[in-house]
Amino acid sequence: MLEIEEMSERSLPPELIRRLQVEELWARRKVLAEWMNAERLRTYYQHRAELRPASFPAVDVTWKEAPARPLASIVPINAKISLAPGG
């Protein structure tokens, strides 16, 4: 398998080989960044769990009741309402 890869790399122009190397390095960098972010997030959650005393329950952020009125309304685009004055 390595011989096939080496032979195909030799037949490629140097410009294309360099682009492939850059793509490979970029993919490695992206994977490493995602891994580091996951580690930071895990550490953050662990630190938060250690700081929160056992006497305080976890905070519930769900709605207890429905909002009094809708927060937004949807207006169809094809409403044929003229925005010009007198129209």
Q: Domain ranges in the chain?
A: 2-51
Which pLDDT band, with edges at 50, 70 and 90, does 61 fall under?
low
pLDDT, averaged across the chain: 76
Position 55 scores a pLDDT of: 61
User: How far out from the chain centre does Cα 36 lie?
Assistant: 14
| pTM, 2 dp | 0.42
- In 3D space, the residue among 37, 19, 40, 39 whose CA is nearest the CA of residue 29 turns out to be 37
pLDDT above 50 (res 68): yes
Looking at residues 25-33, what average pLDDT do you find? 93
Contact 8, 16 (CB under 8 A): no
What is the percent of the chain where pLDDT is above 90? 32
